[in-house]
Amino acid sequence: MTHWLIVPVVLPALMAPFIVLAARYHLSIQRVMSVATMLALVALGAGLMWQTSDGTVLLYQLGDWAAPFGIVLVGDRLSTMMVLLTAILALFVLIYAIGSGWDTRGRHFHALYQFQLMGILGAFLTGDLFNLFVFFEVLLIASYGLMIHAGGNERLKAGVQYVLFNLLGSTLFLFALGSIYAETGTLNMADLAIRVQGLEPGAETAGLRVAAVLLILVFAIKAALVPLHFWLPSSYAEAPAPVAALFAIMTKVGAYAIIRVYTMVFPAEIEATAGLHGTWLLPLALVSVAVGALGILAAKKLDRLVTFAVISSMGTVLVAVGMFSQVGIAAALYYMLHSTLAAAILFLVVDLTRHGRDTLQLITRAPVAGAALTAGLFFFGAIAMTGLPPLSGFLGKIMVLQAGFAQPAAVWIFSVILISSLVSVVGFGRAGSTVYWKANIVEPDPESEATAPSVMAYAGVGGLAAVLILLTVFAGQVHSYTQATSAQLFAPNTYLSVVLETPGKLSDPKGGE
């Protein structure tokens, strides 16, 4: 019996109370423990990914109860990849948070950070829908705590909107779970898949269809799909920079859940839920891409600009997901990795820009402290985000477009994505040239006490940038991994049999109870 699969959830869940209990007043201890946990998580994520890379499905039965009666954690190519991505992101963002001193500006930063990770990692690993709800709650409440970290009127206001909207989402999630349980009598995803597939033709489907729709709407809220994205711009813009950077993974939780549930439980080809997500997700995702791009162009502040870039890039992910094809999902997964890193880099760079600038409005101010490096990093992030060569954004976009060829809406996919790219390029170009170039016409204020950001802050951003470059250089390897992942998703037999046929306490599916 190995327990590696649950360690990514339990480790931060133990570290956080330990910090609260023992290291409440010792920032340096908190920092050391936090970073050590992140390093461990990266190692764990890599190990798990290596274990599942050959197609193995890892199963962990909580309390020794077999699915569907108890809760199970499942590690396959997809979930372990997301775990590793989260760990890497969290490590560098944490380094930035420490380097920039953000963790000193309020209480319990590190504890909340650990809890947040527990929620995200749990959401990626669980194989049970209700447990997914619990982890959504954990990550929501922790994210609210992190979001309003360090206070301030604007931030608190945005925080209230954030938490209210997401509570509506949670309520909807409960409705969806109630519907699903009423309709199918189970909450384990694998069991659900079997039961839904076993539905006889001509049987009643209305209830199941509503359940499927309610559930995808919950995930769409998390993934900031237009028109359910309204919570995102102001909350991400007002959140402390490292928190916003970490949140880059949170929208991906929504996308992940859509991919997981809607390839396995409600695949596009089953008749009972035909004409729902398989038809509607793609057009809405295209609208998201466009709205995001327009938002980039319309933004009057640098941080708002980045939040709309997030919406646009989530739109691109969902366009690829919405194709519900094997190549589409493979492209979506690659783009998801890219989009997470690019968004995080941009949020951190925006924070670096704050050094010596009184406002993030797109107006001319004297050059910021450490301007050249910061501007360079912004240029890097903007290239990545807008999908210009040579970074991974371009490769991801090409993958999405290629996957789009087979779609009936190919013309729309091509035009919306390419034109939106142009609009984003114009938006980023305008903003960047005003903030970083035009600054040179203003004489720096000799009395300004702004110091350049610390080396450690740059190290955090640089680390993420390095990972993004690796993602570009090893695009072939990564893409073949996401292709294998996608293949596994479209052939879920191993997953289903591992989850449902492994005996647990008092139940043995093969030999009866």
Considering the complex, what minimum distance in angstroms separates the CB of residue 436 from other proteins? 8
Residue of the chain from 47, 106, 283, 503 that contacts other proteins (CB under 8 A): 106
Cβ(395)–Cβ(407) below 8 Å? no
Cα 204 from Cα 68, distance rounded (Å)? 23
| Binding span for other proteins by CB under 8 A among 126-134, 242-250, 255-263, 337-345 | 126-134
Question: Which tokens hold the place of 376?
Answer: 């360079």
Q: In this structure, what are the phi and psi dihedrals at residue 60, rounded to the nearest 5 degrees? A: -135, 115
Q: How far apart (Å, rounded) are the C-alpha atoms in residues 181 and 308?
A: 36
The binding track of 45-74 with respect to other proteins, each residue x by CB under 8 A or -, is: ---------------xxxxxx--xxxx---
Ramachandran area for residue 63 (φ above 0: left; ψ -120 to 50: alpha; else beta):
left
Distance in angstroms (rounded) separating the CA atoms of residues 138 and 147: 14
In angstroms, the Cα distances linking 257 to 221, 223, 253, 261 are 11, 9, 6, 6
Taking the complex as a whole, the smallest distance from the CB of residue 356 to other proteins amounts, in Å, to 17
Asked if residue 228 binds other proteins (CB under 8 A), the reply is: yes
Q: How many residues does the chain have?
A: 513
For residues 353 and 293, the answer to whether their CB atoms sit within 8 Å is no
Distance CA 192, CA 280 (A): 22
Helix (H, G, I), strand (E, B) or coil at 507: strand
Q: Which stretch binds other proteins (CB under 8 A): 77-85, 260-268, 337-345, 428-436?
A: 428-436
Q: Name which of 166, 285, 170 is nearest 225 in CA terms.
A: 285
If one counts every other C-beta atom within 10 angstroms of the C-beta of residue 200, the result is 7
**Would you tell me the crossing angle of helices 371-386 and 455-473 to the nearest 10 degrees?**
30
Q: Can residue 455 be called a binding residue for other proteins (CB under 8 A)? A: no
Least distance (Å) between residue 69 CB and other proteins: 4
Window of 26-34, 80-88, 103-111, 457-465 that interacts with other proteins by CB under 8 A: 103-111
Q: Which of residues 316-375 bind other proteins (CB under 8 A)?
A: none
301 binds other proteins (CB under 8 A): no
Residue 145 binds other proteins, judged by CB under 8 A? yes
Burial class (CB in 10 A: 0-12, 13-18, 19+), 511: exposed
Establish if 230 lies at the interface with other proteins (CB under 8 A). Answer: yes
In angstroms, give the least distance from the CB of 15 to other proteins.
10
Count of residues near other proteins by CB under 8 A: 138
Binding span for other proteins by CB under 8 A among 79-87, 165-173, 240-248, 318-326: 165-173
Least distance (Å) between residue 28 CB and other proteins: 18
Minimum distance of other proteins from residue 241's CB (angstroms): 17
Q: Give all strands (DSSP E) within 17-117, no chain letters.
A: 58-61, 72-75
Q: Which residues contact 103 (CB under 8 A, 6 or more apart)?
A: 27, 30, 31, 97, 109, 110
Which among 96-104, 114-122, 246-254, 460-468 is the span making contact with other proteins, rule CB under 8 A? 114-122
Of the candidate residues 4, 26, 55, 204, the single one contacting other proteins (CB under 8 A):
204
Tell me: does residue 18 bind other proteins (CB under 8 A): yes
Task: Give me the least distance between CB of 425 and other proteins, in Å please.
Answer: 5
Report CA Rg, the chain. Answer: 22
Closer by beta carbon to other proteins, 142 or else 317: 142
The nearer residue to other proteins, 101 or 429, going by C-beta atoms, is: 429
Q: Least distance from C-beta 198 to other proteins, angstroms? A: 7
73 to 102, contacts with other proteins by CB under 8 A? none
Examine residue 510 and tell whether it contacts other proteins (CB under 8 A).
no
Q: Within positions 369 to 408, which residues make up the interface with other proteins, using CB under 8 A?
A: 379, 383, 388-390, 394-395, 397-399, 401-402, 405
Distance CA 404, CA 38 (A): 37
Cα of 378 vs its chain's centroid, Å: 21
Q: Would you give the binding string for other proteins spanning residues 465-504, x where CB under 8 A is met?
A: ----------xx--xx--x---------------------
182 belongs to the binding site for other proteins (CB under 8 A): yes
Is residue 175 at the binding interface for other proteins, with CB under 8 A as the rule? yes
**Are residues 237 and 159 in contact, defined by beta-carbon separation less than 8 angstroms?**
no
Shortest approach of other proteins to residue 450 CB, angstroms?
Answer: 19
Three-state DSSP at 342 gives helix
Nearer to other proteins, 128 or 351 (CB): 128
Q: What is the DSSP string of 54-71?
A: TS--EEEEGGGPPTTTS-
